Amino acid sequence: MKFKRTIIITGGAGFIGSHVVRLFVNKYPDYKIINLDKLTYAGNLANLSDIENKPNYQFVKMDICNFQEIYELIKTQHADGIIHLAAESHVDRSIKDPFTFAQTNVMGTLSMLQAAKLYWESLPEKYEGKLFYHISTDEVYGALEMTHPNGVTPPFTTKASSQSKHMAYGTAFFTETGKYQPHSPYSASKASSDHFVRSFHDTYGMPVIVTNCSNNYGPYQFPEKLIPLFINNIVHRKPLPVYGKGENVRDWLYVVDHARAIDLIFHKGVIAETYNIGGFNEWKNIDLIKVLINTVDSILGRRPGEDMDLITYVTDRAGHDMRYAIDSTKLQRELGWEPSLQFEEGIEETVKWYLDNQAWMDNVTSGDYQNYYKEMYETK
Ligand code: NAD
Ligand code: DAU
């Protein structure tokens, strides 16, 4: 079959990547979607079992750092679009092992860029109809302060968005023109990769887009991240390791809404632009954790709040960023994107998904996965 486009999605076996691959494979049967993934501990093909036999889907096990293999793949597949998600993504791991983050996130991104450049520049039409779309994070902007405007105690409602329920913990937000001030080895590596992507536009004229998104939640997230880790611990009545005082604020977005934004921006975004993606949905960790406990308890038929005593305050994460808050007005105004789910609905769906998919959870927390998981997390 002749496909209209061939798109390589890197990191497609991971959390966000699997939602992006699923959306593109189902929505665009006339596109060939190649999922390029090394299958690190975070990559799991079970995340895509529902679409693995679709005729427009192909999985390729490959390391983004292997420039020669990447180049051959892009060339032989005549790829005209790249959506680059492959990365090391967990801040705690970056604190223990920064080298791997520099290698994958910086050198891997550079190898993807250089391979695409060499192939696209060899074509008669060169960069026409091509796009290198880089998925990045709000963490590159650093951390925001918690503020009390006119003495009001946060959270307070703001007029910063069209979302009627927008609650904020400060008056400043991350915008696309904000200064890069990464603090963790993870965010420093992502910041560096963003700069490389933009440099390929400015130096070689490569059509690129960068998006910076807030914290995602939803099905298929590896249980090292706050929400799936805590859901699983509540189910099994294990301690919930809250870093510091649990006062840090994160801005949460349902992963399917991130995938919808990526689809929209891939097709309608303006070359060389940056778009921030976020749900205007700030939560203090401890408040979010209480919502999780109540939700899990009530779905399991326990007394809501019965498991509050699992909350265990532990040593804070080194360099723990206080507050993230994305201003996604540009994306909403220019491309008409809106989050589809209110947070309460998204959290309930997410908790139900993890409870209904205990086999998926058991698989990633057992066997080969278990040793790594134990080593990283048993001490919490
Ligand atoms: P994840 O850790 O769940 O998945 C990462 C995927 O990349 C895995 O499938 C892994 O096997 C693959 N991978 C890692 N190293 C690779 C390599 N060298 N070669 C090929 N594949 C490799 O990550 P995620 O949470 O889905 O994040 C995906 C992207 O989105 C990352 O770039 C991350 O920085 C960014 N992001 C994540 C969030 C979030 O809240 N999770 C928010 C904003 C941006
Ligand atoms: O903001 C986007 C970023 O969100 C992404 O770029 C990262 O890839 C993603 O991992 C996420 O980073 P965070 O560090 O914010 O996510 P994490 O789930 O690790 O932690 C969320 C908050 O919860 C953070 O303030 C730390 C806290 N936390 C986390 C864990 C795992 C705890 O208190 N205890 C925990 O055990």
What are the tens digits of pLDDT across the range 78-95?
A: 999 999 999 999 999 999
89 lines ligand 1 (CB under 6 A): yes
| Pocket, ligand 2, Cβ cutoff 6 A | 89-91, 137-139, 214-215, 225-226, 229, 241-243, 248, 250, 285, 317, 324, 380
Average pLDDT, the chain: 94
pLDDT (mean) for 264-278: 98
* pLDDT the model gives residue 45: 96
For ligand 2, atom 21, name the residue with the nearest CA: 226
The answer to whether the CB of 213 falls within 8 A of the CB of 279 is: no
Q: Cα of 225 to ligand 2 centre, how many Å?
A: 6
Whole-angstrom CA distances from 325 to 8, 25, 201, 224, 378 are: 30, 31, 28, 22, 31
Give residue 379's pLDDT band: very low, low, confident or very high (50, 70, 90): very low
pLDDT (mean) for 144-169: 72
* pLDDT the model gives residue 376: 56
- 252 pLDDT more than 60: yes
Task: Give the residue numbers marked as catalytic.
Answer: 138-139, 186
Pocket test for ligand 1, best of 8, 9, 10, 16 (most atoms within 8 A of CB): 16
3-state SS record for the chain: CCCCEEEEEECCCCHHHHHHHHHHHHHCCCEEEEEEECCCCCCCHHHHCCCCCCCCEEEEECCCCCHHHHHHHHHHCCCCEEEECCCCCCHHHHHHCHHHHHHHHHHHHHHHHHHHHHHHHCCCCCCCCCEEEEEEEHHHHCCECCCCHHHCCCCEECCCCCCCCCEECCCCCECCCCCCCCCCHHHHHHHHHHHHHHHHHHHHCCCEEEEEECEEECCCCCCCCHHHHHHHHHHCCCCEEEECCCCCEEEEEEHHHHHHHHHHHHHHCCCCCEEEECCCCEEEHHHHHHHHHHHHHHHCCCCCCCCHHHEEEECCCCCCCCECCECCHHHHHHHCCCCCCCHHHHHHHHHHHHHHCHHHHHHHCCHHHHHHHHHHHCCC
Percent above pLDDT 90 for the chain: 87
Residues 6+ apart with CB under 8 A from 177: none
Most confident of 62-76, 161-175, 363-377: 62-76
* pLDDT the model gives residue 108: 99
What is the distance, to the nearest Å, from the Cα of residue 59 to the centroid of all Cα atoms in its chain? 20
* pLDDT the model gives residue 151: 75
What are the tens digits of pLDDT across the range 98-139?
A: 999 999 999 999 999 999 999 999 999 999 999 999 999 999
What are the tens digits of pLDDT across the range 192-237?
A: 999 999 999 999 999 999 999 999 999 999 999 999 999 999 999 9
* pLDDT the model gives residue 154: 78
Give residue 348's pLDDT band: very low, low, confident or very high (50, 70, 90): very high
Which ligand is located closest to the Cα atom of residue 227?
Answer: 2
* Closest atom of ligand 2 relative to the 243 alpha carbon: 33
Q: Cα of 182 to ligand 2 centre, how many Å?
A: 15
Which ligand is located closest to the Cα atom of residue 190?
Answer: 1
